[in-house]
C-alpha cells in the first residue's frame, strides 16, 4: 500500500482572471473522491494515468487525449484507473461563463475528444501558472469557452464577423493608453463593443501577434527607457506595468537576451 504523503501532491490557487474560481493541480494514487457536487463547472485534463468516475449514476473514464467538463450540482466521484494513479489539472469555472442550459449536454457527453481544445486548455494552465499573465490567460479562456460552447450545443461554429481593421486599431490605441495600468480583455471588449474572441482575432490578423504579446512588448520597451534613465530594475518593472521584477526579467530576457541588470551594465 502506498503512503498518502508520498503519493499525493496538490497545488491550488485563485487566479486574477474573471470567472475562474480556482486552479487545482494534483497527483493522486490511492485517493478516491466520494460522491459530491460542485456549484461551479469543472474543466479537467489528465496529464498521466487515467481516471474512472460516475456522473449522475453513469460510468465514465478520462484519458490524456480528452477534455472533461462536469456540470454544476450533478453528483460525481473519481478514482485512479491505473496502478500508478493519475496527474490532473482542473479549472473551476463560474456559472456565468457557461449557460445553465448546457448542463444536460455535459451530463450526456462529459468527455470531449478534441486535440485543439485540449491544447488550448493546456496553454491556459501555463498562462495561469505565471504571475502577471492574466491578460493572456483571459484571452486563452475566451477561446476555450467558445470551443466548449460549440461542442455542447452540437452545431457548426457561428458565423464569424468580418475582420475590422478599425477595431484592431482601436484596441491597439487602448493598449497603448493602458500599457502601465493594464486592462482586462473583458473590459476592452465592453469598451469596444466586440466579442472577446473576435477582438483577439482581428487584432492578431492586423498586427501579426495577439494582444497580450503586443502589450508585453510595449511594457518591455517602457522598461528599457526607465532602465536607461537610471531606474533600478524593481522600480522599472512596476512602473512599466509588470507584476514584479521577476516578471520583467522573464520577458526582458525573452525579448533582448539579457537580464535588465545586465542590459544597463549593473551585473
Q: Residue 25, CB half-sphere, CA atoms under 13 Å: how many?
A: 11
User: What pTM value is reported for the model?
Assistant: 0.88
How many CB atoms are closer than 10 A to CB 261? 15
Q: Residue 158, CB half-sphere, CA atoms under 13 Å: how many?
A: 12
**Model confidence pLDDT, tens digit, residues 173-219:** 999 999 999 999 999 999 999 999 999 999 999 999 999 999 999 99
Residue 161 confidence class, pLDDT cut points 50, 70, 90 = low
Main-chain dihedrals φ then ψ at residue 58, nearest 5 degrees? -120, 135
Which is nearest to 40 in space by CA: 54, 10, 20?
20
- What gap in Å lies between CA 71 and CA 42, rounded to an integer? 7
Which residue is associated with the grid cell 478599425?
166
Which is nearest to 163 in space by CA: 205, 124, 192?
205
**3-state helix, strand and coil shares in percent for the chain, rounded to the nearest 5:** 45, 20, 35
**Model confidence pLDDT, tens digit, residues 7-58:** 788 999 999 999 999 999 999 988 888 988 999 999 999 999 988 989 887 8
Distances (CA, A) of 181 to 105, 198, 238: 40, 23, 10
Task: Give 195-200's long-range contacts (Cβ < 8 A, gap of 24+).
Answer: 196/138, 196/139, 196/142, 197/142, 197/143, 197/146, 198/160, 198/161, 199/167, 199/171, 200/139, 200/142, 200/143
**Model confidence pLDDT, tens digit, residues 109-141:** 999 999 999 999 999 999 999 999 999 999 999
Amino acid at each position: 500500500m502506498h503512503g498518502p504523503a508520498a503519493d499525493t501532491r496538490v497545488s491550488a490557487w485563485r487566479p486574477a482572471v474573471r470567472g475562474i474560481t480556482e486552479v487545482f493541480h494534483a497527483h493522486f494514487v490511492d485517493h478516491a473522491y466520494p460522491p459530491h457536487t460542485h456549484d461551479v463547472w469543472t474543466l479537467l485534463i489528465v496529464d498521466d494515468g487515467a481516471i474512472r468516475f460516475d456522473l449522475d449514476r453513469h460510468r465514465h473514464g478520462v484519458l490524456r487525449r480528452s477534455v472533461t467538463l462536469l456540470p454544476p450540482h450533478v453528483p460525481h466521484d473519481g478514482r485512479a484507473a491505473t496502478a500508478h494513479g493519475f496527474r490532473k489539472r482542473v479549472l473551476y469555472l463560474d456559472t456565468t461563463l457557461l449557460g445553465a442550459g448546457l448542463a444536460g449536454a455535459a451530463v450526456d457527453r462529459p468527455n470531449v475528444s478534441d486535440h485543439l481544445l485540449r491544447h488550448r486548455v493546456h496553454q491556459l494552465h501555463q498562462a495561469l501558472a505565471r504571475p502577471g499573465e492574466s491578460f493572456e490567460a483571459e484571452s486563452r479562456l475566451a477561446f476555450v469557452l467558445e470551443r466548449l460552447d460549440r461542442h455542447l450545443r452540437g452545431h457548426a461554429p457561428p458565423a464569424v464577423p468580418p475582420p475590422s481593421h478599425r477595431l484592431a486599431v482601436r484596441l491597439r490605441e487602448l493598449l497603448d493608453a493602458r500599457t502601465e495600468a493594464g486592462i482586462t480583455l473583458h473590459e476592452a471588449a465592453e469598451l469596444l463593443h466586440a466579442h472577446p474572441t473576435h477582438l483577439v482575432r482581428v487584432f492578431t490578423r492586423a498586427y501579426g501577434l495577439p494582444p497580450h504579446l503586443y502589450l508585453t512588448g510595449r511594457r518591455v520597451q517602457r522598461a528599457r527607457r526607465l532602465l536607461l534613465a537610471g531606474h533600478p530594475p524593481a522600480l522599472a518593472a512596476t512602473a512599466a506595468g509588470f507584476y514584479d521584477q521577476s516578471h520583467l526579467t522573464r520577458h526582458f530576457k525573452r525579448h533582448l537576451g539579457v537580464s535588465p541588470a545586465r542590459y544597463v551594465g549593473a551585473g
